[in-house]
Amino acid sequence: MAIRLIVKEPDEVLHKIAKAVAKITPNVQKLLDDMADTMYDAEGVGLAAPQVGILKRLIVVDADEEHGLIKMINPEIIQSEGEQFGPEGCLSIPGINGDVRRAETVTVRGLDREGNEITITGSGLLARAFQHEIDHLNGVLFTDIAEKVYEINAERSQTGSE
C-alpha cells in the first residue's frame, strides 16, 4: 500500500493528454493499486493517473456498491445516454465545486488490471465519475466544462470528489 501525492491545479500535467498503456507491467499494476489507496485516503470516488503526475491512461473509480472498486486501463466511453446535471468536485481542485452536465448512463470499455477486456455500464454517480476521470486523461478538468463554479463552505461536507 502506498499513497501518492495528488497533483493540484495549476500543475500543467493536469492539462496534458495521457498516453495509452501499450503493455501491462508490474509497474502499471502497482500504479493502479497505489491510485486506489490514494483515492480512498482522500475520500474520493475516482482518480486518474495524471492526478498523481503520470500521463498514462489509467483510472480507478469506486462510486457505487454494485460495482465497487474498478481499476481500468485505456478506458473509452463507447455509449452515452440521457443527461444529469449537478455538482461535481475534484481532488486536484480542493475547495471548488461546479455544476456539470453529464450523460446519465455510460458504457465504458477498457482492460482490467490483468489485461482482460471489460465493459461496464454505469448510471448516476458512477457514470459521472467515469466521465470525469476519462476527461482527466484528455487534460480536461470539470472547471473547463462546468456551467457554474463556486467555492464550497469548508464546514459543509464535500461529496463525490474525483
Which residues participate in catalysis according to the annotation?
A: 133
Of the listed pieces 26-34, 61-69, 74-82, 88-96, which binds Zn ion according to CB under 5 A? Answer: 88-96
Cβ distance to Zn ion smaller for residue 34 or 162: 162
Q: Is 162 in the site for Zn ion (CB under 5 A)?
A: yes
Question: Between residue 114 and residue 133, which ones bind Zn ion under the rule CB under 5 A?
Answer: none
| Closest CB 162 distance from Zn ion, rounded Å | 4
Which one among 6, 73, 90, 100 touches Zn ion, defined by CB under 5 A?
90
| Closest CB 25 distance from Zn ion, rounded Å | 25
Count residues binding Zn ion (CB under 5 A): 2
Cα–Cα dist 80/57, whole Å: 20
Cβ distance to Zn ion smaller for residue 73 or 90: 90
Grid cell for residue 85? 446535471
Cβ distance to Zn ion smaller for residue 24 or 77: 77
Long-range contacts of 37-41 (CB under 8 A, 24+ apart): 37/1, 37/2, 37/3, 38/3, 38/4, 38/6, 39/91, 41/3
With CA atoms as reference, report the closest residue to 61 among 127, 143, 6, 13: 127
Cα–Cα dist 25/121, whole Å: 27
Cβ distance to Zn ion smaller for residue 7 or 118: 7
Distances (CA, A) of 90 to 23, 107, 111, 119: 29, 22, 24, 25
Q: Is 135 in the site for Zn ion (CB under 5 A)?
A: no
Cα–Cα dist 156/145, whole Å: 24
Q: Is 45 in the site for Zn ion (CB under 5 A)?
A: no
What is the binding site for Zn ion (CB under 5 A)? 90, 162
